[in-house]
Amino acid sequence: MTLSIIAALCCLLAVGCQDDRFPVFKPGSHVDMGKDTTDVPVTPVAEPDYSRLTASNHPRIVYTQADFDAMKAKLENGSNAPLTTVFNQMESNCKSFLTAADLTYTLSGKRLLSVSRSAMKRITFLAMAYKLTGKDEYLTKAEHDIQTVCNFKDWNAKQHWLDVGEMACGVALGYDWLYNELSAETKALVEKKLVDYCFTPAENKVWNLNFYDSDGNWNQVCNCGIILSALAIYEKDVDHCKAMIKKSIESNKTAVAAMYYPDGNYPEGYSYWNYGTEFQSIINIAMETATGSDAGLSSIQGFSKTGKYMVFMECPTGMVFNYSDCAPSSAVCPALWYFAWKFKDPSLLLFEQKRTGSYTGADDGRVMPVLLYCISKVDAGEITAPSEQIFRGEGKTPVVAIHTNWAMDATDKYLGIKAGKGNTSHSHLDAGSFVYDAFGVRWSADLGLQSYGTLEPYIDLWNMNDGSERWGSFRYNNLNHSTLSVNGGYHKVGGEGVFKGLVNGDGKLGATVDITAPLGAAVKSAVRTIYMEGDNLYVKDVVTAAGSPATIRWTMVTRAVPTIEYGGITLKSATGKYLYLTTTSSTGTKVSLKTWSTQSANSYDAANTGYYECGYEMTVPEGETASIIVKLSPDE
C-alpha cells in the first residue's frame, strides 16, 4: 500500500470528542460516529540514499563513530542522567558476560528464540560497551559470541522464523559497530551466514509463517533482521542487498498501515506493542541513520499517535489494559524513547523516565543499545501528564481508554473497553469486555494470556476459526471475559464489535459498543454503554432476542471475592475495600445473580488463582427487548 493511498483513506477519529465532527454520545442514544473523508496531505518522503553504504563507511547503522564519540562525552560529563543510568546497567551486564558460558544451539520446544535473544543482547551490549569504553575484553568476547552463533548449523528458520529475525539483528549490529576491529575471518563468516541463514530462507520460503504477508509483530521482527543484515553487508553484494531491503520495506509499510492506522492503537495489545514496536523503531532508526531516510515508515497514518496509545494503556493500579494475549502487569516500554525523540513529545515519557533503572534486566533490555541513541538525544525537561481524559482508537482492534485524572493513585479511576473481533492476531473472544480500576483496586479484570508452551502440546492454539480448540481454552473465550454471552455459546470469531460513540458530558465518561455481530444470530441487537459517573460505574445492556428466547450471561471477571447477598453482589478486595454490584431492569426482565468458578475442567488450563467471576443470567423472550443496568458502587 503506497503512502498516497494510505493518505486518501485516512479519517481522523476524535480523542475526547473535542472535534464537533464527532458527536458526544449520551447513554441510551444511537448516534453513528461520523467519518472525516478529507484527504490528509502527506509530507514528501526522501528516498533512501544507498550510495552511503560503502566499505569505508562503518559503523553506519544507528551510530557513526562520531555518534559513539558524542555519547562517550555525555557519559563523561554526566549531562544526560538517563543515558548514564542505562549504560551503567549495560556495562554491569557486560562484566557478567565475560565469564558466561558459550551460547549453544538449544531448542525450547520448536523455538531457538531464547538463544537468539541472549545472542542479540550479549553481542550488542558488548559491542556498545567496547565503543564507549575502549576495553578490549568486551571486543574479544563480542567477536567470540558472533563466531559462535555463526557456526551454528542454522538459525532455525524452518521451525520458527522469529528466531532468525532476532539473531540476525544482533549479528548485523555487532558486525557493523565493530567492523573496523573484527578480524577478516570473522567478517567473512558473518557475511556468509547472514546470506545463508537469513536471506536464503526468506527467499526460498523456508519458514513456519510467511512474515512478509503478516500484519503483526512477526512482520516487524523478521523484516528488521533482514533490513539490518542487508544494511550491514550492503557493499558485498549491492543488488542482492538492495532487493532484500526494498522487499522488506514494502512488506513492512503494508503491515504498519494495517496495525497503527488510523489512531495508533495496536491490534495485539500492550505486550505485543512492546515487542513489535521496539523492532519497528529499530527499522526506522537504522534506515534513517544509514541511508538518510526511513522510507516514509514513520509518516504512515496513525504511527505518530501510537506513543499516546501506550500511555493510555497504563492504569492506576500498576496494571495495564491487558486485552488479547497480554499479561496484566505493566512493563518497561523503551520504544517510547523513540517516539519522544522522533515526534518531539517528551510527555510520552510520563512513566518511562522512572523505569530506566530496570531496563537491562527486563526481557526488552536487549534493544537498549539501539534505543540508547534516542535517549542520548532527548531532553526530557518537565514532563506533564496528557491533557486528554479519553483515548479512542479505531482500526483493526478498536479500544477506548479513560482516566478520570492522571494521579495514578486511588483517586484516579480507569475504564478500558474493547471492541473488535476474535480472528485477529492474538485476539480473544472479548468484544464488549472492560477493565475497571477504582479506589486502588482492579474490580473488572482480564485474565490475559497463558504461556503458549503450556497449551501448544494439547490444542491447536493458532487456529482462529469458529469451532477451533483455541476457544475451548478457558482464558480465550467470551464466557470468561467481562462481556455478554448468549445461550452458553462462543462469540462468532468474524463478528465485529463496533464503537458507536463516546460518553463525555454531564460528569460521565465512557463509550457505547455494539456487540450484535459477535453474539450471532440469536440476537437481533445487543448494545452496551459503559460509563463512569462520580464514584460509580454503570453498564447498560439493551438486548433484543431473535426468533427464539435468548439466555444472556453477563460476566465480570474480578480480583475481588464476590458474595451474593441482600439482592446484589458484594465484592471484597484483598485490601479490604468493598464494591457493590446491583442490577436494575427497565423492562421487568427477571435477573438471576450468579457466581462462576474460574477453575477450568481442562487439565492444560491455568489455575486462575486469585480471580473470580460474577454477574447474572436472564432470558429474553423471542423478539422482545430487555434493558438491564448494572451499577458498581462503593455505597450499598
Q: Distance between alpha carbon 274 and the CA centroid of its chain, in Å?
A: 5
Instruction: Tell me the one-letter amino acid at 486.
Output: V
Longest dimension (CA), the chain: 82
The residue to which cell 520460503 is assigned: 205
The secondary element (H helix, E strand) that includes residue 74 is helix 65-77
Within a domain: 266 = yes
Closest of 377, 286, 358, 343 to residue 71, by C-alpha: 377
How much is the pLDDT for 32? 33
Distance CA 419, CA 240 (A): 43
Neighbours of 92 (CB within 10 A): 13
Q: Does the pLDDT value for residue 64 go beyond 50?
A: yes
Is 325 in the same domain as 450? no
Is 397 in the same domain as 366? no
Mean pLDDT of 345-362: 89
3 state DSSP class of 444 = strand
Q: Average per-residue pLDDT in the chain?
A: 92
Task: Give yes or no for a contact between 619 and 569, defined as CB atoms under 8 angstroms apart.
Answer: no
520: which 3 cell numbers?
A: 450471532
Is 347 in the same domain as 478? no
Q: Does the pLDDT value for residue 389 go beyond 80?
A: yes
pLDDT in tens, 576-617: 999 999 999 887 788 999 999 999 999 999 999 999 999 999
Distance CA 615, CA 583 (A): 9
Mean pLDDT of 519-537: 98
Q: For residue 250, what are the contacts with CB-CB under 8 A and spacing of at least 6?
A: none
Distance CA 435, CA 417 (A): 7
Pairwise pLDDT comparison (154 vs 16), residue with the higher score: 154
Within a domain: 169 = yes
Domain boundary among 375, 410, 441: 375
How much is the pLDDT for 44? 67
Cite the DSSP H helix spans in 269-342: 270-291, 306-313, 336-342
Query: Which CATH number fits the domain that encloses residue 453?
Result: 2.70.98.70
Is 101 in the same domain as 227? yes
Domain boundary among 352, 375, 398: 375
Mean pLDDT of 33-52: 61
Mean pLDDT of 113-118: 97
Distance CA 193, CA 190 (A): 5
How much is the pLDDT for 179? 98
Task: Give yes or no for a contact between 340 and 346, defined as CB atoms under 8 angstroms apart.
Answer: yes
DSSP 405: -
Is 349 in the same domain as 442? no
606: which 3 cell numbers?
A: 491455568
Least confident stretch, 209-213, 215-219, 362-366: 362-366
41: burial class by Cβ within 10 Å (0-12, 13-18, 19+)?
exposed
Query: Which CATH number fits the domain that encloses residue 265?
Result: 1.50.10.100
What's the per-residue H, E or C state across 548-577?
A: CCEEEEEEEEECCEEEEECCEEEEECCCCC
How much is the pLDDT for 636? 61
Distance CA 220, CA 300 (A): 15
Q: How far is CA 618 from CA 208, 525, 583, 628, in A?
A: 45, 16, 12, 10
Is 357 in the same domain as 409? no
Distance CA 493, CA 70 (A): 52
Q: Does the pLDDT value for residue 495 go beyond 80?
A: yes
Q: Does the pLDDT value for residue 98 go beyond 60?
A: yes
| Positive or negative torsion for Cα 382, 383, 384, 387 | positive
Closest of 218, 113, 219, 130 to residue 173, by C-alpha: 130
The secondary element (H helix, E strand) that includes residue 501 is strand 498-505
Is 360 in the same domain as 459? no
pLDDT in tens, 320-351: 999 999 999 999 999 999 999 999 999 999 99
Is 446 in the same domain as 368? no
Q: For residue 6, what are the contacts with CB-CB under 8 A and spacing of at least 6?
A: 42, 257, 261, 300, 301
How much is the pLDDT for 364? 80
Pairwise pLDDT comparison (21 vs 223), residue with the higher score: 223
Neighbours of 559 (CB within 10 A): 18
Is 290 in the same domain as 413? no
Within a domain: 18 = no
Q: Give phi and psi for 324, each to the nearest 5.
A: 65, -160
Distance CA 117, CA 108 (A): 13
Domain that holds residue 416: 390-633
Instruction: Tell me the one-letter amino acid at 192.
Output: K
Percent of the chain with pLDDT over 70: 93
| Positive or negative torsion for Cα 558, 323, 276, 311 | negative
Domain boundary among 342, 375, 408: 375
Mean pLDDT of 428-443: 98
Q: Does the pLDDT value for residue 391 go beyond 80?
A: yes
Q: Does the pLDDT value for residue 39 go beyond 70?
A: no
Rg, C-alpha atoms of the chain? 26
Domains held by the chain: number: 2
Q: Give phi and psi for 577, each to the nearest 5.
A: -90, 155
Mean pLDDT of 93-121: 97
3 state DSSP class of 155 = coil
| Packing angle of the helix pair 81-97, 368-375 (nearest 10 deg) | 160
How much is the pLDDT for 22? 27
Task: Give yes or no for a contact between 270 and 322, defined as CB atoms under 8 angstroms apart.
Answer: yes
Distance CA 609, CA 589 (A): 34
Instruction: Tell me the one-letter amino acid at 580.
Output: Y
Is 120 in the same domain as 149? yes
Q: Give phi and psi for 319, each to the nearest 5.
A: -100, -175
Mean pLDDT of 105-118: 97
Within a domain: 138 = yes
487: which 3 cell numbers?
A: 445461550
Closest of 512, 494, 476 to residue 421, by C-alpha: 494
How much is the pLDDT for 360? 84
How much is the pLDDT for 40? 38
How much is the pLDDT for 13? 31
Within a domain: 557 = yes
Q: Does the pLDDT value for residue 19 go beyond 60?
A: no
Q: How far is CA 571 from CA 308, 422, 444, 469, 634, in A?
A: 33, 29, 11, 33, 10
552 beta partners: 486, 618
Half-sphere exposure of 204 (CA within 13 A, CB side): 10
Q: Is residue 443 very low, low, confident or very high in pLDDT (cuts 50, 70, 90)?
A: very high
The residue to which cell 472479548 is assigned: 430
How much is the pLDDT for 20? 26
Within a domain: 5 = no
Mean pLDDT of 413-432: 97
Distance CA 570, CA 548 (A): 33
Is 244 in the same domain as 282? yes
227: which 3 cell numbers?
A: 533490513
Within a domain: 369 = yes
Q: Does the pLDDT value for residue 231 go beyond 80?
A: yes
Distance CA 278, CA 426 (A): 18
63: which 3 cell numbers?
A: 551510530
pLDDT in tens, 233-257: 999 999 999 999 999 999 999 999 9
Q: For residue 560, what are the contacts with CB-CB under 8 A and spacing of at least 6?
A: 441, 443, 571, 572, 573, 574, 579, 612
Is 346 in the same domain as 404? no
Q: How far is CA 88 from CA 81, 117, 125, 346, 550, in A?
A: 11, 20, 11, 23, 61
Distance CA 325, CA 464 (A): 13
How much is the pLDDT for 95? 97
Within a domain: 267 = yes
How much is the pLDDT for 362? 76
Task: Give yes or no for a contact between 529 and 27, defined as CB atoms under 8 angstroms apart.
Answer: yes
